[in-house]
Amino acid sequence: MPLESVATHTYAERHLSAVGRLTALTADLAGDLDGGRWVPGPLERTLASRLLLACAGDGQLTPPRLRETLWEGSLALTYTGEGRLARLLTQSCEVAEEPVPEAESVLAEAVRLLERAARSGAADGDRH
């Protein structure tokens, strides 16, 4: 990708709201998952599953739950899968802290992506 494309993308991304950034990131990651460009590994699947289990009672991605998942993933999560799950969790945390009406729907979309990530790779026998 040419440098000016990266700079333009980075500049435009900074000017989106937290909800806009999470919406774009979720769509990009879903496309990567669909296209096989992101195949969540054991760490990512395990953390996604644990987060979903923590949310099972009320279905809410809360900042404390998201931070705990990031903490559990430690530094390895920032490198695993090019940091895709770490970015999703970080952006979700930012949105969960922002009390705007559209936050609920974009967080619900992030949950659906987490569910898919948690299930991915099940057929290859690499279970967590």
Q: What is the pTM of this model?
A: 0.79
Q: What angle do CA 50, 51, 53 make, to 5 degrees?
A: 65
The rounded distance, in Å, linking the Cα atoms of 29 and 12 is 18
pLDDT by residue, tens only, the chain of 128 residues: 444 444 444 444 555 799 999 999 999 999 999 999 999 999 999 999 999 999 999 999 999 999 999 999 999 999 999 999 999 999 999 999 977 888 999 999 999 999 999 998 765 555 44
Residue 88 near residue 26, CB atoms below 8 Å: yes
How many C-beta neighbours within 10 Å does residue 82 have? Answer: 12
State which amino acid sits at residue 106.
V
pLDDT per residue over 28-63, tens digit each?
999 999 999 999 999 999 999 999 999 999 999 999
